[in-house]
Amino acid sequence: FRGIELSYSQRLGFFDNEYLRAFSVFGTYSQFNVTPRPRNGTRFFPRAATGGVTWSLGKFYFQVNGTWTDETFVGEDDKVSPTAALYPRDEAYFKPRTILFMNARYKLTDTFSVFVSGDRAYDSGKIWFYKSDGRVRQIENYGSQWSVGVKADF
C-alpha cells in the first residue's frame, strides 16, 4: 500500500473586509496504489478529493463541503460463467462520484440556535459499469436528506 495525501486549510483573515475575513477554505487530495489489487467486495478507490468553504460571522455560520472519489474497482462479475462466450468474469467498477453537504446556523441566544443541514445535498449516485466496454450494470440514485431544527447548548 503506497500513497500520498496533500492537504490545505486556511482562514482568510488577511483580508481587510470583515465579511471576507469570515471565510475559511480547505481541500485535500489523496492518491493510493495497492499491490496486489484488493479482492472482490473491497471498495478501494485510487484517488479522492475533499474540499469546502466555511463562513462564520457573528451569529451566522454557513458551510459547504464535498467529496469526490475516482473510478473504483468492485470486483469481477461472478454471475457470468468463466466459460461464457461473452464477457467472462468481466471486471466491474463504480464510476467517479461527487457528494456535497451543507450546514447553516443562526444563533438566537447564547443557548439556542436554529439550523438547516443537507446531507447529500447533491449526490451523483452509484453507477456500476464494466471496464472492458463501458456497459452499465446497475444505477442507484439517492435522495437528499434535509434536517431543520432548534439546537440548545447548556
Closest CA to 140 of 125, 121, 124: 125
- pLDDT above 60 for 80: no
CB 20 within 8 A of CB 54: no
Share of the chain above pLDDT 70, in %: 84
**Does residue 97 surpass a pLDDT of 70?**
yes
Predicted confidence at residue 26, as pLDDT, reads: 97
Which residue has cell 450494470?
Answer: 137
36 upstream amide cis, omega within 30 of 0: yes
**pTM for this one?**
0.76
* pLDDT of residue 86 exceeding 70: no
Q: Does the structure show a pLDDT above 60 at 41?
A: no
pLDDT-derived band of residue 131, with 50, 70 and 90 as boundaries? confident
pLDDT in tens, 49-69: 999 999 999 999 999 999 999
CB atoms within 10 A of CB 22: 19
The pLDDT of residue 135 is: 84
DSSP code string of 122-150 = EE--EEEEETTT--EEEEE----EEEEEE
Cβ atoms of 63 and 54 within 8 Å: the answer is yes
pLDDT digits (tens, 9 = 90+) for 25-35: 999 999 987 77
Nearest to 92 by CA among 42, 49, 142, 34: 42
Phi, psi of 48 (to 5 degrees): -150, 150
H-helix or E-strand spanning residue 21: helix 18-21
Mean pLDDT of the chain: 85
Predicted confidence (pLDDT) at residue 71 exceeds the cutoff of 60: yes
pLDDT of residue 1: 73
Instruction: Give bridge partners of residue 30 from the DSSP assignment.
Output: 5, 48
What is the distance between the alpha carbons of residues 153 and 20, in angstroms, rounded to a whole number?
28
